[in-house]
């Protein structure tokens, strides 16, 4: 179910329905027991929380944890900056951030403060229960993420 997108106003560079915090994905904080290896393994999943402010600023946190055949890899990205809306496109323009993680073992880690701008196609909808949904699609059109309201 789609709803009309309210245009940005002079007082806010973002549409009013977009303001606030949004959550994508799921990451279980619970380990699991792998009967094949007889070991406890890290949970897997991906999540993102993004918060949009009326002044066009955003804060975004992403976490990916993946375990495959006893190899756990993690990626953590934090950024904040401003967003620019042009029609149905949103561009994240980070002013500061951090990207860090590791592959298979924490000793095989990396960390950088380089976060690149990203542009997505977006739309705001209501689901069948009437809850807000923000849909982000990459520019290639081959990946789409559905965000719900995040309440702490």
Q: How far is CA 47 from CA 74, 80, 138, 148, in A?
A: 12, 17, 17, 12
Residue 73: give the domain boundaries: 16-149
Q: 7 in a domain, yes or no?
A: no
- The CATH code of the domain that includes 45 is 2.40.128
- Give the predicted TM-score (pTM) of the model: 0.81
Q: 24 in a domain, yes or no?
A: yes
Tell me how far apart the alpha carbons of residues 47 and 148 are, in angstroms, rounded to a whole number: 12
Tokens of 127: 């689901």
Summarised one tens digit per residue, pLDDT across range 96-121 is 999 999 998 889 999 999 999 999 99
Summarised one tens digit per residue, pLDDT across range 22-49 is 999 976 666 666 677 776 666 678 899 9
The domain total for the chain is: 1
Which whole number is the average pLDDT over 70-81?
Answer: 91
Sign of the dihedral through C-alpha 8, 140, 116, 148 = positive
């Amino acid at each position: 179910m789609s709803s009309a997108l309210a245009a940005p106003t002079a007082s806010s560079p973002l549409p009013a329905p977009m303001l606030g915090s949004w959550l994508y994905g799921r990451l279980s904080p619970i380990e699991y027991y792998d009967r094949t290896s007889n070991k406890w393994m890290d949970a897997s999943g991906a999540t993102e929380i993004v918060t949009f402010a009326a002044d066009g600023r955003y804060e975004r946190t992403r976490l990916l944890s993946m375990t495959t055949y006893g190899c756990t890899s993690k990626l953590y990205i934090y950024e904040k900056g401003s967003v620019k809306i042009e029609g149905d496109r949103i561009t994240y323009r980070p002013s500061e951030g951090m990207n860090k993680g590791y592959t298979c073992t924490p000793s095989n880690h990396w960390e950088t403060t380089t976060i690149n701008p990203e542009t997505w196609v977006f739309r705001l909808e209501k689901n069948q229960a009437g809850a807000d949904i923000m849909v982000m699609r990459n520019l290639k059109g081959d990946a789409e993420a559905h965000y719900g309201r995040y309440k702490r």
